[in-house]
Structure 1
Amino acid sequence: MSIHEHVEELDGLPVYDFREATADTTTLPEPGAVAWRLSVDPYDDEETFAERWQRFTETVELSGVRALVVGPWGETYENTSAVVVEAIVAAKDRLGGLRAIFLGDMVMEESEISWIQQSDVTPLLTAFPALRSLSVRGGEGLVFPPVRHEALRELRFESGGLPAAAVRGICESDFPALESLTLWLGVPEYGGDYEVTDLAAALAGSRFPALRHLGLQNSEIQDEIAAAVAAAPVVAGLETLDLSMGILTDAGAEALLGGQPLTHLKWLDLDHHFLTDAMVRRIRVALEPSGVEVVINERGEEDEDDGTVWRYAAVTE
């Protein structure tokens, strides 16, 4: 997924924009052949999201729908995603085949990521016990109390700042089938008031026994996160580890190299880093001979003002 382009595929299905639908329903794809995208432009569209959703539910056989992609639901900097969550949950008995949801498919021209007003998204998990994938873009107003879900395999949050309570709720949930967890943690200026201790339950590993990919990304405290990961039990079971997009310096990399072995990984992503060339070489020498693909090419953006160096995470506002 990219914040610069709309998602083109979800759960292996090509995305079809329902806004292109006509009165001739024979031109529509089969319900299970695509991931259905629903969105509303508050300036150009005459329909509200509720009206568009109603038309969708009356036009498409919901029992065959496997994946939903939701873009703008109106003026998303003022209206929360609750209207979307409530609409989808209300149709749960007709959406028995739903396996994947992406809530917040918006590019910068539609909304800055920090402007997207989210809500409590856990009702989507409660309502759909067979859901395999849930992705959410935007952290403002996000609520995620601890839940248990038996089938979820992928959980992804993209934000310029995740609230601490939501981070704790995610990490303290029980997801026995979860294979991939991605958190763009963000920065305090945009709501990221978490601390590294809020990740403790996830790093312990017992709540996500099937986890194979872990992404703890886009953080100002990337060094602290790297140090915690270096000693985290969850790492032993991982195949891929992503600590990219944040402010990772030699201190964090030193902690990684001095911690538990990482040579079992298939790849390690440290892109958008602030490492010295010498440290980059050390990491490559330590891991690449064992077959680990190390992604460590792009340096992050930094400024200097009166002798102070300012460094920035990749995605904030």
Structure 2
Amino acid sequence: MTISHHIERFHELPIHEFDAEDTRPRPAAGSVAWRLSLEYGSKEDFGRLWQSFLRSVDPAGVRAVVIGAWWQEGYSSVDAAVEAITAEADRLPALEALFLGEVTFDECEISWLEMGDVTPLLTAFPGLRSLTVRGGMDLVLEPVRHDRLTSLSFESGGLPSAVVRAVAGSELPALESLELWLGVDEYGGDTTMDDLAPFLDGTRLPALRHLGLQNSELQDDIAAAVAHAPVVARLESLSLSMGVLSDEGVAALLEGQPLTHLRALDLHHHYVGEELQQRLRQALPGVEIDLSEAEGADQDDDDDRYVSVAE
């Protein structure tokens, strides 16, 4: 799977593309999620686009911002865009949600996105409720404390283990939803099971209700660990999707702790045979189970299996 379409809603708001040259009346600042993105070959840099945005809307009312392409020609680091956004943090007191790197494959492959340190996005916006970051190359996060963040997602074809450890080492008492697209080693996805242990033992993230450990070559090992993980008892939904989950992983889930309390179990893009799929449905009759995108359980060679999002 490649990311081929832009999102249409974010933070429960419709996306509105900001165009500095559009003279039509603009929507109320807090009624939409504003998307800012540079056209390839644009004569202005992201800093100028951001300043134009702040002049054109009432920044004090902005609730959600989606950042698309931040480069003009040739891919460049996101650092300058992060600096531009955080330098004006005091002008955006109502900002609740931020998506950094909402681009499609034809703009830039996910693993070609040149990232940087995204810690300032959390430290500059203490009122932020939702942060999504797409891209893993050179991605940096330092452990932080943030008292209001309820949703955190890292979408990548290869998530650096240092970022995973930083999330685990952060104080996020309000976090309800965490999704990590772990990716593959070829693109920097070097997370180990030891790195994931803090999310599973139930001692961190006291408000967590949704956990996604996804898009991984370790999906069977993750499923086996989840089967006995204390955190599962307080989850409402669980995603082990997008990876190379096979019969082995589903068998571990069936042999582990009860999952009947879950509202939803997302396993889409998998290598699970029909028999194990049916056993899982029978064991969890009240759970919404997504077993779409079956990739073929007969592919016994691990080299023939692939995660949903890599390059």
The reply to whether TM is greater than 0.5 is yes
SS in 1 for 2:68: strand
Distance in 1 between residues matched to 2:296 and 2:122, nearest whole Å: 37
Residue 100, structure 1, aligned to residue 97, structure 2: yes
* Equivalent AA in structure 2 for residue 316 of structure 1: A
**1:58 matched to which residue of 2?**
55
Q: Are 1:218 and 1:314, in contact at CA under 8 Å, matched by a contact in 2?
A: yes
**1:30 matched to which residue of 2?**
28
Residue 298, structure 1, aligned to residue 297, structure 2: no
**1:68 matched to which residue of 2?**
65
| Structure 2 portions without partners, runs of 5+ | none
**Shift in CA distance, 131/215, structure 1 to aligned 2, threshold 3 Å:** same
Distance in 1 between residues matched to 2:255 and 2:161, nearest whole Å: 28
* Equivalent AA in structure 1 for residue 32 of structure 2: V
SS in 1 for 2:54: helix
* Equivalent AA in structure 2 for residue 296 of structure 1: L
Distance in 2 between residues matched to 1:40 and 1:214, nearest whole Å: 33
Distance in 1 between residues matched to 2:76 and 2:174, nearest whole Å: 33
* Equivalent AA in structure 2 for residue 294 of structure 1: I
**1:230 matched to which residue of 2?**
227
**Shift in CA distance, 184/77, structure 1 to aligned 2, threshold 3 Å:** farther
SS in 2 for 1:6: coil
Distance in 2 between residues matched to 1:139 and 1:90, nearest whole Å: 23
Distance in 1 between residues matched to 2:197 and 2:73, nearest whole Å: 32
Alignment length, in residue pairs? Answer: 310
**Shift in CA distance, 55/285, structure 1 to aligned 2, threshold 3 Å:** same
Distance in 2 between residues matched to 1:308 and 1:130, nearest whole Å: 44
Q: Percent identity?
A: 55
* Equivalent AA in structure 1 for residue 80 of structure 2: V
Distance in 1 between residues matched to 2:22 and 2:213, nearest whole Å: 45
| Structure 1 portions without partners, runs of 5+ | none
The offset of 1:159, in angstroms, is 0.6
Question: Alignment partner for residue 139 of structure 1, among 136, 140, 145?
Answer: 136
RMSD of aligned Cα (Å): 2.0
The offset of 1:173, in angstroms, is 1.5
1:1-317 alignment, distance < 5 Å: 3-19=3-19, 21-22=20-21, 24=23, 27-43=25-41, 45-74=42-71, 78-288=75-285, 291-300=286-295, 310-317=304-311
The offset of 1:229, in angstroms, is 1.0
Q: Give 4+ residue runs of structure 1 displaced > 6 Å after superposition.
A: 301-305
* Equivalent AA in structure 2 for residue 4 of structure 1: S
* Equivalent AA in structure 2 for residue 18 of structure 1: F
Q: Are 1:178 and 1:208, in contact at CA under 8 Å, matched by a contact in 2?
A: yes
Distance in 1 between residues matched to 2:175 and 2:302, nearest whole Å: 42
The offset of 1:302, in angstroms, is 8.6
Distance in 2 between residues matched to 1:208 and 1:76, nearest whole Å: 40
Q: Are 1:76 and 1:116, in contact at CA under 8 Å, matched by a contact in 2?
A: no
